[in-house]
Structure 1
Amino acid sequence: MKAAQVKQYNKSNIAVEIADIEKPAVGAHDVLIKVSAAGVNPLDNMISRGEVKMIVPYKLPTVAGNEVVGVVEEIGDRVSKFKVNDRVFARLPLNRIGAFAEYVAVDEDALAIVPEYLSDVEAAAVPLTALTIMQALDVMEAESGKTIFISGGTGSVGAMAIPISKAKGLIVITNGSAENRDRVLELGATRFIDYKTEDYSEVVSGVDYVLDTLGGKETEKQMSILKKGGKLVSLRAMPNGSFAKRMNLPVWKQFVFGIAGRKFDKMADKYGVSYNFIFVKSDGKQLTEVSNIFEELKIKPSIDTVFDFDDVNDALDKVANGRSKGKTVISMM
């Protein structure tokens, strides 16, 4: 089969190589998927640059791609949740990525059935981002009726985070560019702040939770709008010791990340809040909950560009360097 492989870590070259390799073996709990589409994410480029090898030390070469949609072609002897011809999607397990290929074998516990109303390309935009939101809300221990600020909510992350947070009973505040105001409010935000005319740190205060999608200097600004005891989860700042413990990383890595993230822990202490970092894991049960939310609300993911598989490196470059109004997807069909 054709597959796009990361051959070596290279900070200055994110290109993958298309090669002919054997179809993956199917274990007792595995499902063999004929891939129809794959989402392309900044994480894919981070892996190629070696930026996540402290979290997941991949043995190279490895097939790239974290987010997959396809049809079940074969099931293992002990698979009980899926059958041949089911249309499924997943954020692939951290230690078994490989969405950029004609076939991928996936543990059934990572999978969920695709909502019927979504096309394969639309479905490819869902698992990784949606699970990121679900797991961030879990880390926050978010409670219905409380308030969450989602920074930069007009992008593809916000398009998932806002309706999922609303479905969980949260009051959503977000900011972004004014031309997206109506769309964001329709997604379920209660309040929208135009970042060009208002500074959210001056007009928002006392929120219970923050989902930080921006990082940099914005992380501390977002801590300042939390009430005492509030919780911030960042997608863009720095892993810390509590993150490493939650990921069950070796003790020495917990120590290293504890030092690396100390700046943010101290910052959080200054404001009387908590700081956490998220690195999304596969979870078929959570993804099924996402699928049910999508079926109920008929959420349509925003798609920016669809690339053919042979143009996988153009897709990776688009994610790394191109302005985007939605998800970049590779179509295998």
Structure 2
Amino acid sequence: MKAAVLMRHGKAPYAVQVSEVRDPDVGPKDVLVRVRAAGVNPLDTMIARKEVALLVGYRTPLIMGNELAGEVEAVGAEVTRVRVGQRVMCRMPLDGIGAFAEYAAVDQDALAPIPDAYGFEEAATLSLTALTAMQALDLLEGAGEGDTVFISGGTGSLGATAIPLAAARGLQVITSGNARHEQRVRRLGAARFIDYRTQDYADVLHDVDFVIDSLGGDEMRRQLGIMRSGGTLVSLRGGPNGEFARRAGYGPLKRALFTLAGAGADRAAARRGQRYRFVFVHADGEQLDRAATILAGQNVPAQVGPTLPLAQVSEALARVDAGGAVGKIVLVP
């Protein structure tokens, strides 16, 4: 089969080439998926630059790609959750990525059925952001109907899933961005929108119950300042801490390392009587199924951007790094 293979880690332009490789082995609990579309994400270029090595130690040569949509071609002897011919989607397991290929072997527990409302290219853009949103929302300890949550970067691909999924839980969603996106994010379920060109969210927001941070760095610290005592900030970019290491099941060495690395964020939150949490999205087919069902039921459109053939994987990765694309870039093997 053809696959996009990262030959070595390094900076852009990335050492990735489309090559003929052996078809994947299918274990007893694995599903062979004929990949029809694969989403291209910043995570893919982060992996290429070896920026997530402490979280997952990927070795080269590596078939790239973290999320896919396709059809079940064959199933292992112990597979019970899907059937041959079924349309499926997934965020691939952390230790077994490889979506940029004609075929992928995926643990059955990572897969979710594609709702009828979405085609392959649409479904290929949903898994990573929908699961990120669900896993971040699950970390908002004590969140209930009517509570407020500020979602930074809510006009991007994360907001397209996080806003409706948060609203479905009864949360009052606040986000910020360019005013040209206001009506779109309000249709997704945002209760309040802040135009960053005319207002600074840090000046106008106070005592927010929860925050989902997609920016990290100094912006994460500023977001702690808008949150009430007792609130929880969940960050996608702030970096792992000891609590994350325990939750993810890392061994003693990485627990100690992440406890040290995340101490600054933990202290900054603790000084305000708040909690800091970090999320690095992992595969979960049942959770993805719930998210996709909610999104399809609310007629939430998938954010499909430029669609390119697998042979143009280098261009796709360069476009991700450049930013500015409307919607998520999709590769079609």
Q: TM-score range by the shorter chain?
A: over 0.9
Residues 152, 214 of structure 1: 8 Å contact kept? yes
Superposed, 1:17-96 pairs within 5 Å as 17-96=17-96
Who is 2:185 aligned against?
184
Number of residue pairs matched by the alignment = 332
Separation (CA, whole Å) in 2 of partners of 1:209 and 1:70: 36
**Cα-to-partner distance string for 1:55-104 (whole Å, 9 max, x where unaligned):** 11123212110001000000111111111110000000000100000000
Structure 1 SS opposite 2:190: coil
After superposing the two structures, state which structure 1 stretch, 318-327 or 101-110, moved more: 318-327
Separation (CA, whole Å) in 2 of partners of 1:229 and 1:307: 46
Structure 2 SS opposite 1:112: strand
Letter in 2 for 1:4: A
Superposed, 1:282-301 pairs within 5 Å as 282-301=283-302
Seq. identity, % = 48
Superposed, 1:1-333 pairs within 5 Å as 1-141=1-141, 142-332=143-333
Gaps of 5+ in 2: none
- Relative to the length of structure 2, the TM-score reads 0.97
Letter in 1 for 2:93: P
Separation (CA, whole Å) in 2 of partners of 1:330 and 1:160: 20
Structure 1 SS opposite 2:282: coil
Separation (CA, whole Å) in 2 of partners of 1:157 and 1:305: 17
Separation (CA, whole Å) in 1 of partners of 2:312 and 2:90: 22
Residues 7, 15 of structure 2: 8 Å contact kept? no
**Cα-to-partner distance string for 1:131-170 (whole Å, 9 max, x where unaligned):** 0000001112332321100012111111111011011111
Residues 159, 184 of structure 1: 8 Å contact kept? yes
Gaps of 5+ in 1: none
Letter in 1 for 2:268: M
Residues 148, 173 of structure 1: 8 Å contact kept? yes
Deviation of 1:304 (Å): 2.0
CA RMSD in angstroms, aligned pairs only:
1.1
Deviation of 1:7 (Å): 1.8
